[in-house]
Amino acid sequence: MWSYQAIERVGFAIRLFWDSFYWLIIGRRYQQKIRLRQVVEQVRVNGFDALPIVMTLAFVVGMMLSIQLLYALSDFGAESQVLLAIAKSVTREFSPLITGVIVAGRSGAAIAARIGSQVVSQEVDALKVIGIVPVRYLVLPPLLGLMISMPLLVVSADVMAIFGGAIFSVSKLDMSISAYMVESFNVLIVGDVMQGLIKSVVFGVIIVLVGATTGFHVTGGAEGVGKATTSAVVISISFIVLADMIASYFLTQ
């Protein structure tokens, strides 16, 4: 029973993704076009509003990596390599993963709660009655919003994490902060940054699809909305970690 439900939910999520871009392309023909204002609002809510916490945690993670790597590399007399290690690991792995987890906790829960409450109050049925496609109205704007805002958040996290590493490392490496930052960006290649950006887009899609799928399947009134919100966060983070592992394997081959 559980496996059947899981397969059904995955199929539903895939259908949501397909229908979202279907209505993005042909929506104007059927008076169902996406409004730019809706997408901009989602970029603000899911991207700009999350920027302070993303940058703060990225800074802390960068400093933490610096502390641990300097301690580990000192056994081999390779402290100078901490700059390369932080720059590569942050852009490839830590920034997109941290950003994905934070946004899953904020936006994934919000999407599930919003759609779930509308399902319970029969607002989704009302949308269908007045001729509005629920997927186009409820799923497509946050999907586009996160696909745009996630890469921007990851770039901000990259910079802050490298800066956090610089704060602790410069005294050990006998460098200025500006020299550290310039050297960090010099050792990076396009592939390092692109790997994180590709992951961020995938994570954004996962967050929206999991949140929307969980929301559309809410039952049991307000209590069901609460359970759906919790499930959306847990499932989103689980899929993000799994997708991160798969993406890391294929993007490093």
Q: Which amino acid is at 169?
A: S
- Give mean pLDDT, residues 201-226: 90
- Give mean pLDDT, residues 162-185: 87
Q: Which amino acid is at 72?
A: A
- Give mean pLDDT, residues 170-192: 86
List the end-to-end C-alpha distance of the chain, in Å, as a whole number: 38
- Give mean pLDDT, residues 170-197: 87
Q: How many independent structural domains does the chain possess?
A: 1
Smallest CA-to-CA distance from 144 within 92, 199, 207 is with 207
Q: Which residues, 6+ apart, have CB-to-CB distance to 104 below 8 Å?
A: 203, 207, 233, 236, 237, 240
Average pLDDT, the chain: 88
Q: Which amino acid is at 19?
A: D
- Give mean pLDDT, residues 97-120: 92
pLDDT of residue 54: 94
How far is 82 from 88, CA to CA, in rounded Å? 10
Helix, strand, or coil (residue 131): coil
Identify the residue with better confidence: 5 or 31.
Answer: 5
How far is 243 from 35, CA to CA, in rounded Å? 30
Q: Per mean pLDDT, which range of 27-31, 94-98, 149-153, 214-218 is the poorest?
A: 27-31
Q: Is the pLDDT of residue 113 over 80?
A: yes
Q: Which amino acid is at 30?
A: Y
Identify the residue with better confidence: 54 or 137.
Answer: 54
pLDDT of residue 2: 64
How confident is the model over 22-75, as pLDDT tens digits? 888 877 776 677 788 888 999 999 888 999 999 999 999 999 998 888 888 777
- Give mean pLDDT, residues 160-182: 87
For residue 189, give Cα distances in angstroms to 82, 135, 194: 17, 39, 9
Q: Which residues, 6+ apart, have CB-to-CB distance to 108 below 8 Å?
A: 207, 208, 210, 211, 232, 233, 236
Q: Per mean pLDDT, which range of 89-98, 105-114, 132-141 is the poorest?
A: 132-141
Do residues 39 and 145 lie in contact, with contact meaning Cβ atoms separated by under 8 Å? yes
pLDDT of residue 111: 93
For residue 112, give Cα distances in angstroms to 43, 78, 136: 17, 47, 16
**Domain span including residue 69:** 2-251
